[in-house]
Chains A and B, each alone.
Chain A
Amino acid sequence: MTDAAPARPGGAMVEFDGVGLRYGPDAEVLSDISFNLQPGSFYFLTGASGAGKTSLLKMLYLAQRPSRGIVRLFGEDLVAMPRHRLPGFRRRIGVVFQDFRLIPHLSARDNIALPLRVAGVGEEDLSGPVGEMLSWIGLGDRADARPATLSGGEQQRVAIARAVIARPQLLVADEPTGNVDPDMAMRLLGLFEALNRLGTTVVVATHDIHLISRIENAQMMRLEKGRLSDPTGALRYPPANRV
C-alpha cells in the first residue's frame, strides 16, 4: 500500500483501500490503489499518459464508482452510498477539468455562479462572491463574455473560479495547466496554493515536473500502469499506522 500522507485513522478526508477499477469486461485500469488524503494538504498526482490519472480523479470527484475496494470520503463509505446522497458530497468537491467544460451559452459570471445556484444560494447573495471571484481571477471586465470569446487561459481561470466559488473542502484538478503557457500555468498554480492556504485539500494531476517543484510541502502520488507507487519514498508511512 502506498500512502500519500501518514495515516491518521479517522482524520483522513479521502481513504482508498484496495481499490480497483475496470471498464466493462476489460482488464483493470487501476489496481490495488490505497492511499489517504489529509485535510488541508496539497497533492500532485503524476504519471504517464494512460497511467490512470483521470480514472483515479473520476473516483475522487464521484463521477465513477470503483469496481472493488473501499472508498471513503469525508468519513463515509461511498461505494455503498445510495445515489441520491451523492449530490450533497459533490457540493463539497470542486473540480477543474482539463477541457474546462464551461457551459457555452452561459457568460463567465453565470458559469462561475453555477455551483452556488445549484446549492440554492439566492440571487441577492450571489453577486458579491461572484464579483470577488471574477476580480480574483482577473476577469472582472469580462464577466459577460461567453466562453467562446475567451482565451484558453481565461477559460481555465473561469473553470477554476467555478470550482472554488463554493469553497469546497476538496479541489480536484485534472491537468489544469495543460492548455496554457508557462506563465499562466504558474499563475493558476498560485491560485491553487492560495486556496490550499485557506484550508482546501488540493489534488492536481499533472505530468509537468517543473510545476511540482514550485509548491512547498506538496506531496506526490505517482501512477504507473494503473498502480500507485511512491517515487520519493517520503510519503511512505509505518505499516502500523495503516487504516
Chain B
Amino acid sequence: MIIPRVPVQHRRLLPDRRLSGPTPWVIAILMMLTLLAAAAGVGLARSANAIGSAIAGRVTVQIVTANPVTRAQQAASLRRAAAAQPFVRSARSVEQEELRATLGQWFGSEGSGEGSDDPVLKSLPLPALVDIDFVGEDRSGHMRDLQALVAREAPGARIIPHAEWLGPVARLIRSLAWIAGGMVVLMTLASAAVVIMTARAALATHYPTIEMLHLIGATDRQITRLFQRRIAIDTAYGIALGSAVAAAILLLIGWQWSGVTAGLATTASLGPAGWVLLLALPLLAIALAALTARQTLLAALKKIL
C-alpha cells in the first residue's frame, strides 16, 4: 500500500508537524519541473517523429533551365510523368505566386499588399519546383527511378531530398527530447534523494521515540509504517501542489500554442499517450516516494538492535 493504514492512536507517536518542513515544498518544485520537462520531452519527440516521417519520403525537384517557357514545360511534363509512376504517391508543381509569396517575406514586401507586384521580385528568375512524395519504404530504389525520370523529362534539374535539410532539424528536436527525458530521470532521482534525506532526518529527529518503541517490542515494520505514512502524505501534498502548478502552466502554453498554425510548431503536441504519461507521473512519484522511504527506513532500522 502506498500510504499505509495506521490507527489514529499510533499516528500520535509522531508529533503533528505536517508541511512544516521543507520537504513538501522541495518536492512540489521538483514535481513541477519534472512534469514540464516530461511534457516538453513528449511534445518534442512527437514533433521529431512527425517531421521525420513527413520528410523521409519527400523530394523537391528544382528546374533551373534559363528559358522560362521551357522551364515551365519541363516542370509540367515532369509533374505528369511523376504522377503516373507507381512509386509516387503525389506530385505537385509549386506555383510561381507561392514562391514569390515565400520570397516576399524575406524581401520585406509581404503583408504590404505589394507581394506579387514587387518589381524586384517579378524580375527575379525563379526556378520551377515540383514536390514529389514517394510511396512505400524502398526510398533508395525510388530515388534511382526518379533520377532516370528527371534526366528524361527535365535534364539538368536538381533533386533535393527534404531529409537533407530538415533532417538535422529533426535530429536536433529529437536530441532536445532526449535531454528533456534525461532531466525527468535526474529530477526523479533528486526527488528520491530528497525523500531519503527526509527519512533519515526523521529517524534522527525521532531517534529517542524509535529506540523506546523498539525496547517495548515494536517491530521494524510497525515503526516503518508510521514514518512511511507521514513521509508519503507530506510528499503527496508536495506532488499535488507541483502537479497543479505544472498543469496550469501546461494549459496556458497549450492555449497559446493553439494560436500557432504555421511550420514546425503544428507538429508539437502531447497526444493521448503523452497526457496519460503526465497524469501517471504524479501517482508514480507518490509510489516511488513511499517505496524509497520504506526501504530507507528499514535499512536504517536494521542498524539498530
**A residues with CB within 8 A of B:** 61-65, 83-84, 86-91, 95, 101, 103, 105-106, 110, 113-115, 117-119, 123, 162, 166
Contact = CB atoms under 8 A, between A and B. Distances in A.
Given A65-B305, A90-B216, 16 more contacts: A63-B215, A64-B305, A83-B302, A84-B219, A89-B217, A90-B214, A91-B216, A95-B215, A103-B208, A106-B12, A114-B216, A115-B216, A115-B217, A117-B9, A118-B216, A119-B217
Contacts of A119: 217
Interface in B198-231: 208-209, 211-220, 222
A172 to B, nearest CB: 10
B15 interface: yes
A101 B212 contact: yes
Given A90-B214, A117-B9, A101 B208 contact: yes
A156 B222 CA distance: 26
A93 to B, nearest CB: 8
9 contacts: A62-B215, A65-B305, A87-B214, A101-B211, A105-B15, A114-B13, A114-B212, A115-B217, A123-B7
Contacts of B216: 90-91, 95, 114-115, 118, 162, 166
Interface of B: 7, 9-10, 12-13, 15, 208-209, 211-220, 222, 302, 305
A118 B222 CA distance: 8
A86 B302 CA distance: 12
A91 B217 contact: yes
B178 to A, nearest CB: 45
A87 B215 CA distance: 8
A127 B10 CA distance: 15
A59 B10 CA distance: 28
Nearest to A99: B208
A127 B106 CA distance: 86
B305 A63 contact: yes
A83 B219 CA distance: 10
A90 B10 contact: no
Contacts of B10: 117
Contact of B218 (A62, A64, A83, A87): A87
A110 B9 contact: yes
A103 B217 contact: no
Contact of A118 (B15, B208, B218, B305): B218
